[in-house]
Amino acid sequence: MDDAVWTAAKTGEPLGRVAYVNARLLDPASGLDAKGAVLTEGESIADFGADLFKGGVPSGIETIDCQGLCLAPGLVDIRVQIREPGEEHKGTIESAGMSATAGGITTMICLPNTKPIIADMSVVEFVARRARLSGLAKIYPYAAATKNLEGKELAEMGILAEAGAVAFTDGERAIADAQVMRRALIYAKNFGLTIVQHPEEPSLSRGGGMNAGEVATRLGLSGIPAAAEVIMIERDIRLVEMTGGRLHFAHVSTAAAIEAIAKAKARGLAITCDTAPPYFALNENSIGEYRTFAKLSPPLRSEKDRVAVVQGLKDGTIDAVASDHAPHDEDSKRLPFMQAAAGGVGLETLLPIALELFHNGHLSLLQTLAKITDVPARLMGLRAGRLEKGAPADFMLFDPDYAWQVIADDLISKAKNSPFDGRLVQGIARQTVIDGRTVFRRKG
């Protein structure tokens, strides 16, 4: 990307006061939507608001004219596969940080399915240390819920929580054994933390490549029934009732699952969920003639399911949107459809695809931003995703109307497997600030 510049944040360097003026301030947490300014001092937000600097900026303060751009909290992405350590040919902490900051993301939570698995203190600390050294987006780790992600024996949750794990999950694998899930919910509850589930009954999804139905039949591909998702979700809802634990369902994609979650929430259970942009912006027809970039996990669903996901976002059943960033190298995707790896990159497209909810009239701009800032941060107990005095100065400047086309080969991501390749979108990050330092700026 020739018009982009990254500057790694160097810890320990003194920072003065910087005034960001002539901005449209957007803060979903407080409902703020007004022309105003932000003052940073060091690594924190010192002040912000519509009346700030109405009489001009005092001398001695560096001033940045935002030229009417939107200034909002940095995006918080709660489902990212980093690939480092172990599969650096697919992605690294640095490449993910560059891709994230180019998309306005300042905070990410990474899945534990690295090599080695994030299942002991040393790997948790490695990820945190490498993220700090890269000086780009902040990265927090999920830790494995079970040893070796095998779903048989619980990992050392207490030690991992002390080391900095924000929640527990087996990543791309469902915790399929009901007794293991029951124990995991109880154990995590003792530390006030959440279990994150990939809701897919494995015996029903095994051997499938796309959503079961008419399209799969026409293409001659083995299908994964939508029921595989809701069966796992309904089982886990019962386990939450038994244990009083906290459970978060990742990337929900079907109407039946959303209905089940809505009923569970109505009963007051500690259940939350997110979805990913492909499940409200695409459907199974995007596979076309065996397009492997559109092979995802869970698979792209029917149009009826896609509409249900949009409705779930509108009525609040679906709490948040996460990128579900899953980079794969070319050798993993340039294969016959059934042999190709499932997953797509999504850090740079999280903002523009989420903004389709706004541009299409489904959500207001603040409601859309809430799904990718304040809400996911609160779900995982992070101090992020909001404009707040004294909080870390993590925010982005973006143009919600800028039109561009997603070209997979032009993405910053080390891997290029975007399901949105060729899509026309609106909305782009212009500048990303982390701890008071500009780490990304798009020129022109």
Residue carrying the six token digits 């500690």: 270
The answer to whether the beta carbons of residues 211 and 235 sit under 8 Å apart is no
Q: Is 19 helix (H, G, I), strand (E, B) or coil?
A: strand
* C-alpha distance from residue 67 to each of 56, 186, 315, 341, 436 (Å): 15, 51, 34, 43, 19
Tell me how crowded residue 249 is: count the other CB atoms within 10 A of its CB: 27
* Cα–Cα distance for residue pair 270/133, rounded to 1 Å: 36
Q: Is 170 tagged catalytic?
A: no
- All residues at 6 or more sequence positions from 122 whose CB lies less than 8 Å from its CB, including other chains: none
Radius of gyration of the chain (CA): 21
Residue carrying the six token digits 């992600």: 149
Task: Give me the catalytic one of 27, 33, 324, 421.
Answer: 324
Among 429, 274, 292, smallest CA distance to 347 is for 429
State both tokens at 412.
Answer: 């910053």
State both tokens at 89.
Answer: 């040919």
The answer to whether the beta carbons of residues 402 and 425 sit under 8 Å apart is no
Phi, psi of 65 (to 5 degrees): -85, 115
Active site residue ranges: 324
